[in-house]
Amino acid sequence: MEVLEEKEEEEQKEEELKALEISSELHDTKTKLSVEQICFSSDVPDFDWNSIDTSQLPDSYKMNSPREKKLLRIADHYHQQYTHLCPERKPLFLHPVNECGVEKFVSTTVRPTLLPYTELYHWDGCASFVSDYLTMEPLKCPLTPPSSLYSPTTILKYQRGNCFDFSVLLCSMLIGAGYDAYCVNGYATHNICSLDESLEECPLLRKPQEVPKEDVKKSNKYRVKSLPDMHSKFELQQEAKKKAETEATEKKERGERDMEAEEPTCDHLCGLRVHAWVLVLSGKREVPETFFIDPFTGNSYSTMDEQFLGIESVWNHKNYWVNMQDCRNGCKDLVFDLSDAVHWEIMLSETDKPLQLLLGAEKKNELFDRNVDDMEEEEEEEEEEISFAMPPSWVAPIQISPKEFETRCSQGRKVILYKKAKLEKWAPYFNGNGLVKRLTIYADSNWTEAVEVKEWFKNREDMLDMREVNKQTQLTTEYFSPGHLFGLKVHAYKSMNPQTERVMEFYTETRVDGLQKLAENASEMKEYFMGRDDFKYFQHTEFRTKRKKVTLAGVGTDVNSRPIVQIKECFHRNLQKPADEDIAERVFLIEEEMIQLTYHLKDKYITASKKDFFKPTESYRKQSEIMTPEMCITYQAGSSEQHTKLVHLYKLLQKLTEEEKQLKQQVWRSQAEVLKILEIRENEEADIKLSASIYDTERNEKKRQEYEAMMNAKKDEFPGQNEQDLDYLAPFLIQMGSPEKMTRRQALRLRDNCLSDFKNRLVSKANIIQARFEKEVEELQKKNQLFQENQNQLSEKEEADLLADYSETMFRIHILALRLDREKQTAPQKYLALEEKLRKDPRLAEHLGHA
């Protein structure tokens, strides 16, 4: 019976199919010509899907289960009604053939899967993975949906597919991750359909929108009136006018130029190009707003986006909906409430919502009853249809190995062209230098004249994160992650030669000296500090340049080759000191033998106190006068001629002189450090090493060896452990001649022997420790005696040696005492434990169990 029925069904289906084909043919006659043209003009993909191996695929791929067959029948029925109702619309995309040539309903092709990667837990991670992992193939005919839809597993295996394949895979992953996602069959612009982003700005270059800061300044009623403005307002107005005019003309010109450059090509097939993408409804996973994801780019779009021109139908793993809304205005006005039966025609009435089920069913019945007369005989079936649930997906579980996940792009590389920019992506570890991303910015739209290159790196041992090369200025800027040897954060330079222009920034928190930034060029060095205890925040050193020498020496190795002209330091205010004792600026004019101090401003003062020291010359030093009033010019703000004592000045000068020396050293040290950093950087660049996580046993060779060695060692360590524990009775059994069966007396003897032997062992162990302990003590006494006797004759070194020896002996004695103690404590327990064990031994149990 069943077989018969099936046959009937199949026949029926075939008929329906034919009818469908015919109707679609008829329907398409108008556009057919153009379609064919397009079909031919489209590029023939270099991959032949016919050559794929389908023999290994599971059975579910090759045949339909009864439920699936029924589903197909329902779908056909549904489609008939649909074509009847909307004859002017294109046929639905319902059950294309899969890779094995079997018709499968689209909903069953969606296989919800949550993959074990944290990145794939969010929609953007999934979307970027899909867009990276798969290679895009254009539709064979851009105006009709494809005739086939392969399973996501096959698509993953060959890493290529068209927009429908992309969408189904992405949708499967999103539903698996808990999103309310749907595949959409609809129409989009040429740029979207053909993955042409060359007119779009690169997302990496988009500037984040600045949030205008609100001025929360409370206005005080006590304000001074501003001074009357003496400028002519007329002149200002004239100027502003002029400016506006010039700006306007400039803008116009620029606009014209832009217009020329970006003349959008008019697409005569606009609105007919078929595309598939993913719709994510709000609600689940805290998605606040419904949005689209284009699977090719992995970008999200608002449902109002103008690039999406219309929707035919949507489906997920449970159901299929046809859009009944007008798409003349694109997707702007669409309502995405899928339970709304007026806007969305559902195929299987939802089973998990009983109320709606009834309502929906009635409505549908009414709707169809009104229009369709020849459906009466199928009334029964329809009743069935209502309660029919979507059969489980025929697709095998989607699996992505960690390696595949990491490698991402096929062949490990992907290139995207944007407007005046090119983005290249690689899998981590694919490039020897750790390069994962490169963005090239061009001056022109043909991608020929590079202006700027940005490269991102990953897993580098030198922590290089990003490198920016400006081709016009030849300025290279390198950004580092935390963890570089010198706390390097940013390094901007034009050449790696020392004493040329460069800026280095550091991770301040990792540096003892609080250095934040160091800017250097041929004649000066500027250092910026943060969070120092001495409140210094800036230091500026000027050097005397020796141009000839530099050119001759090339890479100057002698750090001290540049004599210091002056060092200037700036300090923040230290609130613990009074303002006119707190130095704000300190200048050491080394060549002029002068030191200038400027103090912080006192409250409400506008002049800062100052002290200028002239260092004593040699002739002065010989004289008895070490400090004269002429050596220091003082300006003390706000205090009238309160003369500072020479003693204090002298002390200050001494201190300053000392600090000057240290400062010079420090400058040389920083110079040396810069050289060192340059050297290290060069070495690092010359020999790039990539680090691998210690959990990554595939890459981390050393770790893997260690791990394997450890495993082997573990195996070796207890070779027989699993087979047999050490038999503590064996020696005694042998003594007794290993009798097959023991008498009670024998058993008791065996036990006693065993226990006494154990006791002896414990005692002897304790004795050994005791003996060693005594020996050590004796030795110690001997040494002590020796030391006492010879104390006076010993040299210092010998004494120290003796003392060291003494303390070591003491240590040993201490340890021995501890061990002895422990032995004494644990011995009874061990004894008892053995006794217990013996009692439970199966060989002795029958004799001792009740003893």
* 23: nearest Cα among 95, 115, 87: 87
Question: Collapsing DSSP states into helix, strand and coil, what is residue 185?
Answer: strand
With residues binned 3-state (H G I as helix, E B as strand, rest as coil), the percentages for the chain, rounded to 5, are 45, 20, 40
Q: Does residue 627 bind another protein (CB under 8 A)? A: yes
Residue whose CB is less far from another protein, 522 or 633: 633
Total number of residues that touch another protein (CB under 8 A): 25
Nearer to another protein, 587 or 802 (CB): 587
Per the structure block, which two tokens stand in for 730? 């064996």
DSSP state of 397: P
**Do 539 and 568 meet the contact criterion of CB atoms below 8 Å apart?**
yes
CA 370 to each of CA 124, 324, 375, 769: distance values in angstroms, whole numbers, following the listed order: 46, 18, 11, 105
Q: Per CB under 8 A, which of residues 371..410 are in contact with another protein?
A: none
Rule CB under 8 A: say whether 621 interacts with another protein. Answer: no
- Of 63-71, 407-415, 645-653, 682-690: span binding another protein (CB under 8 A): 645-653
Which residues are registered as beta bridge partners of 276?
Answer: 185
Q: Judged by CB under 8 A, does residue 607 bind another protein?
A: yes
Q: How far is CA 191 from CA 263, 273, 414, 424, 481, in A?
A: 14, 10, 18, 19, 37
Binding mask 213-252 for another protein (x = CB under 8 A): -------xxxxxx-x-------------------------
Shortest distance, CB of residue 539 to another protein, whole angstroms? 20
Nearest to another protein of 222, 234 (CB atom): 222
Q: Does 646 bind another protein (CB under 8 A)?
A: yes
CB of 540 to another protein, least distance (A): 15
Q: Which stretch binds another protein (CB under 8 A): 421-429, 632-640, 688-696, 735-743?
A: 632-640
With contact defined as beta carbons under 8 Å apart, do 203 and 439 qualify?
Answer: no
- Is the CB of residue 158 less than 8 Å from the CB of residue 52? yes
**Residue 650 touches another protein, criterion: CB under 8 A:** yes
Q: Which stretch binds another protein (CB under 8 A): 17-25, 291-299, 535-543, 627-635?
A: 627-635
Strand-pair partners of 614: 594
Q: Which is nearer to another protein, 244 or 626 (CB)?
A: 626
605 binds another protein (CB under 8 A): yes
Closest listed residue to residue 190, CA positions, set 248, 123, 274? 274
Alpha carbon distance 74, 391 (integer Å)? 12
Which of residues 206 and 225 has its CB atom nearest to another protein in the complex?
Answer: 225
Q: Least Å distance between CB 584 and another protein?
A: 11
**Binding residues among 247-276 for another protein as defined by CB under 8 A:** none
Does residue 530 interact with another protein by CB under 8 A? no
Among 103, 98, 101, which Cα is nearest to 64's? 103
Query: CA 345, CA 676: separation in Å to the nearest integer?
Result: 72
DSSP string, 85-104: H-TTSPPP----B-TTS-B-
Binding to another protein, residues 722-761 (CB under 8 A): none
Does residue 647 belong to the site contacting another protein (CB under 8 A)?
A: yes
| Least Cβ distance, residue 639 to another protein (angstroms) | 9
Q: Is 573 in the site for another protein (CB under 8 A)?
A: no
Stretch touching another protein by CB under 8 A, among 274-282, 399-407, 601-609, 667-675: 601-609
- 490: contact with another protein by CB under 8 A: no
Sheet holding 320-323, edge to edge: 300-302, 291-293, 274-281, 180-188, 308-315, 320-323, 344-346
Residue 624 found at the interface with another protein (CB under 8 A): yes
Regarding 622 and contact with another protein (CB under 8 A), the answer is no
C-beta of 225: minimal distance to another protein in Å? 7
Is 601 among the residues that bind another protein (CB under 8 A)?
yes
CB 507 within 8 A of CB 489: yes
Binding test (CB under 8 A) with another protein, winner from 258, 332, 342, 635? 635
In three-state form (DSSP H/G/I as H, E/B as E, the rest C), the secondary structure along 521-543 is: CCCEEEEEECCCCCCEEEEEEEE
Question: Which residues are CB-neighbours of 155 under 8 A, at least 6 positions away?
Answer: 134, 161, 165, 168, 169
Q: Which is nearer to another protein, 50 or 623 (CB)?
A: 623
Regarding 206 and contact with another protein (CB under 8 A), the answer is no
Question: Can residue 547 be called a binding residue for another protein (CB under 8 A)?
Answer: no
Q: Which residues bind another protein (CB under 8 A)?
A: 220-225, 227, 601, 604-607, 624, 626-627, 633, 635, 637-638, 640, 645-647, 650-651
